[in-house]
Amino acid sequence: MTQGDETLTERGAELAVTSADVTAGEFTATIIAPNCITTDDKEKPLQVTAVSNDGTVVSGFYNGLTFDRSLSAVSDDTTAPTINAFYINDKSTFKDGMEVESSLRLKAEVTDDVALNLSHEQIATTAYISIDGGEHVYPVCSYQLDGADNCIIDQGIYNLKSGRHTAELFVADMSGNVATRTIAFYVAVSDNATLTVDTTALIHSVTFDVENADNYTDAQLVVSDNSGNVVLRTDVGSFPYTWDGSDNNGNRLAEGNYNATAIIDGKSLRQKKIVVVKQ
């Protein structure tokens, strides 16, 4: 394939090849680009070149060049990335539903069998973190790559309001396959108000009280399981408040560990651990 003494490959790396029939000097072709292209960090032009059957580089022009993000029909990669871990601050100490500070680091370990998509150009689905079902969305911009198929995400999130939160991680590969994973956590308010409980073992009932909180007008008791699922949310009016271990439907909770907090005028106090035991 030459034009004079120039070979086609001297114009740059060959990314994809297709064929088409020429009618009245025109043809239409679909080119499927590879999933991942590595360069030397310099800008590279995208060139489309027509070559005749005898290897001649044909002069002319092209129009109607478009990019289609719907790759599933033309790509043989149908396997989504794998989110091997998603946690806050420290993998060894994180537990789903745990209490954390209002500023934290969301971290993840992600792999793919071909190549992850971490671009920010928004041409195709990229990696991002959704807080509380989309109330806040953060594009993943802090990560380390180990090759094209392995990624360590380390994203800072700051000044979250007190209360229960969820974080959902979305990651995609270069073929548009998407994986998600969700964790729950709890941010406590940092003031002098404190939730107390007369016993941490609930047999028949426990009594909660609040210290250093005066003149409040609204008070709630919220109880969640170890996965962060809220099993009880009730308006208590004021503290002290005695709870018999019933959930929102009036049924006694199953034996196990739970987290309780008070919300005073919209501010959540630090959790207390409660163990529901057999009556």
Mean pLDDT of 154-170: 89
Count CB neighbours of 125 within 10 A: 16
Q: If you average pLDDT over residues 172-187, what whole number do you get?
A: 89
Angle at 220 between CA 203 and CA 190, to 5 degrees: 100
Q: What is the mean pLDDT of the chain?
A: 80
pLDDT(258) > 50: yes
For residue 119, pLDDT over 90 is answered with no
What is the dihedral angle through the alpha carbons of 147, 148, 152, 154, rounded to the nearest 10 degrees?
120
Side by side, the strands of the sheet bearing 194-197 are 194-197, 206-211, 241-243
- Please check the confidence at residue 261 and state whether its pLDDT lies above 80: yes
Cα 13 from chain centre = 35
Residue 184 near residue 147, CB atoms below 8 Å: no
pLDDT value of residue 142? 83
Residues 6+ apart with CB under 8 A from 224: 97, 164, 186, 230, 231, 258, 259
198 confidence band (pLDDT: 50, 70, 90): very high
pTM for this predicted structure = 0.52
Place of tokens 């007008």: 217
Give the integer Cα–Cα distance in Å for 242 and 248: 15
